[in-house]
Amino acid sequence: MMPLVYFQILSAILFGIGAYGVLARRSAVLILMSIELMLNAANINLIAVAAHREGLGHFANFDGHIIAIFIITIAAAEVGLAMAIILRMFRNRGTVDVSQINVMKW
Amino acid sequence: MEWAWLIPVFSFIAVPLIVVLGPRLPAKGAFLAILAMLGGLIVFAMVAVDFLQSGSNTNGCGISEFTKSLTCLYSINWFEAGSFVGDSSDGIRLVWGMLLDPLTVLILGLITIVALMVQIYSLGYMHGDPRFGWYYAFHALFAASMLTLVLADNFLLLYVAWELVGVCSYLLIGFWFERPSARDAAKKAFIVTRLGDVGLLIGILLLWSEVGSFSMVAAFEAANNGSMSQLTATVASLLLFAGAAGKSAQFPMHVWLPDAMEGPTPVSALIHAATMVIAGVYLVARSYPIFVASGDALTVVAWIGLITAFGAATIALTATDLKRILAYSTISHLGLMMLSLGAFGYTAAVFHLLAHGFSKALLFLGAGSVMHSIDELDIRKMGGLRKVMPLTALLFSIGALSLGGIPILSGFWSKDEILIAVSEHLPPAFIILTFMVAFMSALYMGRAMFAVFFGNLNPEHEHAHDAPMSMAVTMSILGVFALVFGLVSLDWPGNFDGIGTLVYFEKELHFHLVPWIAGLSTILAVSAFVLAYFIYARKRISLDSTRAKFNWLHKAVENKYYFDECYQWIVEAIVLTSARLLGLFDRAIVNDIGVNGPGWIVKKVGISMKIHITGHVYSYALGTMLGTIVLGVMWWLRSVG
């Protein structure tokens, strides 16, 4: 059985890439993809811990699985919504570059 | 008698009716005011008859322990606050109530009669005025508030009515507000009387704090049985007198009354005879027990009265404007009333108040008739008007002779009573000066009468016409009053023993004449009128040389002793300067530092705090992440430590 820490390192790397993408990318679509990456990093972590605890002989506990499925569902909904917003943004302003979309300020 | 409160209520109801319905009614609703006042007069007549017939066993009535005359009290609760458990009540109970005693009844009669006459007279005088309806509305309100003032049994209600009277006088004096002088006169009247009102309010509150109620009877009782110290009584009565001096135009607050001539002439008649100025005398007479308990306050009242009477009489001698002569004569006679009150001449003061009221209303209506006809007020340009307006001349002469103190006419009897009271209770200097005032009042009345109606007719005035119907009738009625009213002081055969047995303080006063006083005052009055006749009607005696000799004095008197100038200087030099300083303080400290200061700080802080709102998604995302990391580190540190 693979040690839990491998999965956690993978999860951390994925999360870090996602976080970097969110902060550094200019394209709204790429930011959205980076967010997905972060969500999936969290999913990996949850599933890994859940499976690890099961392997240690604990009574089967589906909390981690359930939360992961929730996250997948919400992520799907969120992508639909966010893509719609980005589409409208592109229609209206002709760009999805977030550095040029800064009207929400004082 | 319980229905006496209806007397003002009719007129109070008439006011909104005239304002709302007036434009759709014939004569703009003026008849509503007249009907209301007529209703008041009828109720008054019934109340008066009822009052004269009732004794101490009538419901609500009793012999007052202060005036020793019949007094009836009726009241209803207005509202209560606090608790009233047992005798120890710590609540406040305010009542609407009436106090009916001979003083109230007599003055109610004066007000209703004169107000009704003036309203009917105004039908002719104010005919065609663009604000005819408003005039009647104000008029009705004025009379109604004055009636309420007289009926009030507590100082609070009295104060409410007192201020209403002040407002109405402002509205009526400034009735022709298109004229700047009328506006200024209205403001002056309001502000000067207001100064006195502050004293009145403080006095009322002082009495309240002393007695625990606004009731007049309670205040009198406290003053009478000594639970109120003499010092308190003095302070309270002087404060009340400040209010009275403001309303009754006593020195040094007399300056507003001559300027109040800017109002329509019937309004002057109302102000001078039946409302407003008699309020002050009434207030002193009403709170007489407090003044008597103080003693010192009465001396002040006498002094102020004498100064006012003397000063105003001298000014009246030099004034050239007919209405101003009458105005200063009013001030002088009000001074005499105050002097009389200060000399324990309660009956004399009230009697003179009534006699003067009828005569002065008549004189003003006569002056109004002259003005209506020839539109001129300078007596130097008038003369011989008796040929073109005989009725006005006759009635005006009756009023003038009455005020001048010619025997049989009403002014003689009341002035005589005042002279007797002054001679009995005050030092000899007072009686000498009072005789001089009496002489001067006859002289200026003769001057007004002879200069206007006798002598040669000014050719410009040949087409003058006499008063129209409504004015003539009302003047005639008042003329009858001026003619015969004084006879009520006589000891008639039958039940009526003279006015002194009806309205008196502590002891009845039977009719009596002191021969030397009556004789001297008659001689003075007659000689004054004869002198005036030769100076102003026949022009046999010229005053030019005398005038030249006493030029400085004449100038001082003609300029009304420079009171207006002094007050103007005080206002400019002291009031306005200190107001400017206070204004500077207000603008610099209160406004700029106190109010704008915190606002400025908040604004600057807000501007410095908004720099993190960039509008860029990634900067918000960075903030979120850094925040999360910080929270995570803190949580970690906590779980470790």
Q: pLDDT digit string (tens) for B274-314?
A: 788 888 999 999 888 888 888 788 888 999 999 999 988 88
Nearest Cα of chain B lies from the Cα of A20 at a distance, in angstroms, of 10
Q: Which residues in chain B are closer than 8 Å to A102, comparing Cβ atoms?
A: 614-616
Is B435 exposed, middle or buried (CB count within 10 Å of its CB: 0-12, 13-18, 19+)? middle
Give residue A82's pLDDT.
Answer: 92
Answer whether A102 sits within 8 Å of B616, measured CB to CB: yes
Give residue B50's pLDDT.
Answer: 86
The bridge status of strand B61-63 relative to strand B92-100 is unpaired
The span from the CA of B316 to the CA of B258, in Å, is 10
Residue B88 has pLDDT above 60, yes or no: no
Is B569 exposed, middle or buried (CB count within 10 Å of its CB: 0-12, 13-18, 19+)? exposed
Q: Which residues in chain B are closer than 8 Å to A104, comparing Cβ atoms?
A: 615
Q: Which residues in chain B are closer than 8 Å to A19, comparing Cβ atoms?
A: 625
Nearest Cα of chain A lies from the Cα of B172 at a distance, in angstroms, of 59
Residue of A nearest to B609 (CA): A106
B92: confidence class by pLDDT, cuts 50, 70, 90: confident
Nearest to B625 among A19, A28, A102 (CB): A19
Nearest Cα of chain A lies from the Cα of B621 at a distance, in angstroms, of 7
Residue of B nearest to A106 (CA): B613
Answer whether A23 sits within 8 Å of B614, measured CB to CB: no
What number of other Cβ atoms are within 10 A of residue B94's Cβ?
A: 16
Over residues B432-471, the pLDDT tens digits come to 888 999 999 898 888 888 888 887 777 777 777 777 888 8
The span from the CA of B365 to the CA of B475, in Å, is 7
Answer whether B618 sits within 8 Å of A104, measured CB to CB: no
For chain A, list the domains and their CATH numbers: 4-93 (1.10.287.3510)
Give residue A5's pLDDT.
Answer: 92
Answer whether B618 sits within 8 Å of A22, measured CB to CB: yes
In the A/B pair of chains, how many CB contacts fall below 8 A?
28
Nearest Cα of chain A lies from the Cα of B625 at a distance, in angstroms, of 8
Nearest Cα of chain A lies from the Cα of B634 at a distance, in angstroms, of 20
Q: Which residue has the higher pLDDT, B378 or B436?
A: B436
Q: Which of A 74-103 lie inside 8 A of B, CB atoms?
A: 98-99, 101-103
Specify the DSSP class assigned to residue B73: E
Residue B532 has pLDDT above 70, yes or no: yes
SS3 of chain A: the string is CCCHHHHHHHHHHHHHHHHHHHHHCCEHHHHHHHHHHHHHHHHHHHHHHHHHHHHCCCCCCCHHHHHHHHHHHHHHHHHHHHHHHHHHHHHHHCCCEHHHCCCCCC
Is the dihedral angle over the CA atoms B81, B85, B86, B88 positive or is it negative? negative
CB within 8 Å of B150: residues ≥ 6 apart: B104, B107, B108, B111, B282
Answer whether A23 sits within 8 Å of B613, measured CB to CB: no
Specify the DSSP class assigned to residue B594: I
Tell whether A4 is within 8 A of chain B (Cβ): no
Structural contact between residues B33 and B139, judged by C-beta atoms closer than 8 angstroms = yes
Structural contact between residues B40 and B134, judged by C-beta atoms closer than 8 angstroms = no
Over residues B18-32, the pLDDT tens digits come to 888 877 877 777 888
Answer whether B615 sits within 8 Å of A22, measured CB to CB: no
Residue of B390, B362, B330 lying closest to B481 (CA atoms): B362
The span from the CA of B538 to the CA of B247, in Å, is 39
Q: Which of A 40-59 lie inside 8 A of B, CB atoms?
A: none
Please name the amino acid found at residue A14: L
Mean pLDDT of chain B: 85
Nearest to A106 among B613, B617, B621 (CB): B613
The span from the CA of B563 to the CA of B577, in Å, is 20
Answer whether B617 sits within 8 Å of A101, measured CB to CB: yes
How high is the ipTM of this complex?
0.81
Give residue B54's pLDDT.
Answer: 80
B89: confidence class by pLDDT, cuts 50, 70, 90: low
The mean per-residue pLDDT over the stretch B488-504 comes to 73
Q: How many residues does chain A have?
A: 106
Nearest Cα of chain B lies from the Cα of A58 at a distance, in angstroms, of 25
A106: confidence class by pLDDT, cuts 50, 70, 90: low
Q: Which residues in chain B are closer than 8 Å to A24, comparing Cβ atoms?
A: 618
Answer whether B618 sits within 8 Å of A98, measured CB to CB: yes
Nearest Cα of chain B lies from the Cα of A35 at a distance, in angstroms, of 11
Give residue A45's pLDDT.
Answer: 92
Q: Which residues in chain A are closer than 8 Å to B621, comparing Cβ atoms?
A: 22-23
Answer whether B615 sits within 8 Å of A102, measured CB to CB: yes
Nearest Cα of chain A lies from the Cα of B617 at a distance, in angstroms, of 7
The mean per-residue pLDDT over the stretch A4-22 comes to 93
State percent of chain B over pLDDT 90: 13
Give residue A11's pLDDT.
Answer: 94
Residue A1 has pLDDT above 90, yes or no: no
Over residues A39-77, the pLDDT tens digits come to 999 999 999 988 888 777 766 678 888 999 999 999 999
Over residues B127-154, the pLDDT tens digits come to 888 888 888 889 899 999 999 999 888 8
Which element (helix H / strand E) includes B62?
strand B61-63
The mean per-residue pLDDT over the stretch A11-23 comes to 92
What number of other Cβ atoms are within 10 A of residue B191's Cβ?
A: 13
Residue of B nearest to A25 (CA): B618
Dihedral angle, C-alpha B512, B515, B518, B523, nearest 10 °: 170
Determine the residue among B610, B618, B619, B629 to mutate to test chain A binding: the one whose Cβ has the most chain A Cβ atoms within 10 Å: B618
Structural contact between residues B254 and B188, judged by C-beta atoms closer than 8 angstroms = no
Nearest Cα of chain A lies from the Cα of B635 at a distance, in angstroms, of 19
Tell whether A31 is within 8 A of chain B (Cβ): yes
Determine the residue among B616, B624, B626 to mutate to test chain A binding: the one whose Cβ has the most chain A Cβ atoms within 10 Å: B616
Residue of A nearest to B625 (CA): A19
Over residues B209-261, the pLDDT tens digits come to 888 788 888 888 888 887 888 888 889 889 999 999 988 888 888 888 888 88
Which residue spans within B164-322 are E strands per DSSP? none
DSSP string of B511-562? ----HHHHHHHHHHHHHHHHHHIIIIIS--S--HHHHHHTHHHHHHHHTGGG
What's chain B's Rg over C-alpha atoms?
A: 31
Tell whether A22 is within 8 A of chain B (Cβ): yes
Nearest Cα of chain A lies from the Cα of B616 at a distance, in angstroms, of 5
Please name the amino acid found at residue B530: V
Answer whether B613 sits within 8 Å of A31, measured CB to CB: no
Residue B543 has pLDDT above 80, yes or no: no
B267: confidence class by pLDDT, cuts 50, 70, 90: confident
Give residue B129's pLDDT.
Answer: 81
Structural contact between residues B209 and B155, judged by C-beta atoms closer than 8 angstroms = no
Residue B421 has pLDDT above 60, yes or no: yes
What's chain A's Rg over C-alpha atoms?
A: 18
Q: Which residue has the higher pLDDT, B57 or A92?
A: A92
Residue of A nearest to B606 (CA): A106
Residue of B nearest to A20 (CA): B622
Give residue B90's pLDDT.
Answer: 67
Determine the residue among A15, A17, A20, A23 to mutate to test chain B binding: the one whose Cβ has the most chain B Cβ atoms within 10 Å: A23
CB within 8 Å of B50: residues ≥ 6 apart: B1
Answer whether A103 sits within 8 Å of B614, measured CB to CB: no
Residue of B202, B224, B334, B189 lying closest to B273 (CA atoms): B334
CB within 8 Å of B339: residues ≥ 6 apart: B301, B302, B305, B306, B309, B418, B422, B430, B434
Both structure tokens of B594: 């106190």
Answer whether A105 sits within 8 Å of B614, measured CB to CB: yes
Answer whether A24 sits within 8 Å of B621, measured CB to CB: no
Over residues B548-598, the pLDDT tens digits come to 777 777 777 777 778 888 888 888 888 889 999 999 999 988 998 889 999
Q: What is the largest CA-CA distance in chain B?
A: 124
Where b means 16+ CB within 10 Å and e means fewer, B124-149 reads: bbbeeeeebbbbbbbbbbbbbbbbbb
The span from the CA of B588 to the CA of B600, in Å, is 15
Nearest Cα of chain B lies from the Cα of A57 at a distance, in angstroms, of 27
Over residues B349-362, the pLDDT tens digits come to 888 898 888 888 88
State percent of chain B over pLDDT 70: 98
